[in-house]
Homo-oligomer: A and B are copies of this chain.
């Protein structure tokens, strides 16, 4: 399926996590903030490059971008609308919420390198189960920027102990879509009490002989929007990504 075809389905109302969709194409996190917050957001990304690798930034009011030929308001399978840091709507179309002063940021997503993991026979549990990847707020603070501050958010994939080094090696080739893991094993070291209760997405089974491997996650700026009580923002629903027109190989070193 091409990105164009996938986006058409989402525009028609299909709501689904996008892991495994359009293999070979990069996926991206969306965060759109009012223009008066755009500098803080760009600086937050510059100061926290692991969770916030910026792939593209639009001019105020832009509804498409060079790397995303669809309509940012309708062509993702799910969105969250925030007011004063609280989610006020989770919808599949944000046209009625969009504003002329919104600056859209597309941020790299680790789904982009999952196809490379699978091609090296490294199992990806949430692809096997068809669920959403589990994501967790951690106790690790991001470096603040202006009005934005909040915790690092991570995604987790259970990897057999003998393949963890391979998962590091493969994902490290994709620094613009979060790259190598930030933490391997020891969930408590990230302040995660219970892997079975993710803050976003669905829990997955960690089987005997597997190690939980944590990658920085592009939901991090949405966690900052919430933690900082930002007046208004629109993000993708976690796991429900923007499927771009860019080949994943474009982000491979």
Which chain B residues lie closer than 8 Å to A2 at the CB level?
A: none
- The answer, yes or no, to whether A54 is at the interface (CB within 8 Å) is yes
Nearest CB in chain B: distance from A196 CB, A? 35
A172 (CB) vs chain B CBs: closest residue: B253
Interface status of A217 (Cβ within 8 A of chain B): no
Q: How far is the CB of A22 from chain B (nearest CB, A)?
A: 25
Stretch among A23-31, A36-44, A82-90, A199-207 lining the B interface: A36-44
Within 8 A of B (CB), among A12-57: 38-39, 42-43, 46-47, 54, 57
Nearest chain-B residue to A46 (Cβ)? B54
Measured CB to CB, the nearest residue on chain B to A145 is B57
Chain B residue at smallest Cβ distance from A105: B46
**Which residue of the partner chain, among B38, B47, B54, B175, contacts A39 with CB atoms under 8 Å?**
B38
- The reply to whether A46 and B39 contact each other, CB–CB distance below 8 Å, is no
Bound complex: CA A39 to CA B175 (Å): 24
Which residues does chain B contribute within 8 Å of A54, judged by CB atoms?
46
Report the bound CA distance from A54 to B42 in whole Å: 12
On chain B, the residues within 8 Å of A175 by CB distance are: 253
B residues less than 8 Å from A47 (CB atoms): 57
Cα A57 to Cα B43 with chains together (Å): 8
- A121 CB to nearest B CB, Å: 25
Residues of A within 8 A of B (CB): 38-39, 42-43, 46-47, 54, 57, 175, 253
Q: List 8 A-B contacts (CB under 8 A).
A: A38-B39, A39-B42, A42-B43, A43-B57, A46-B54, A46-B57, A175-B253, A253-B253
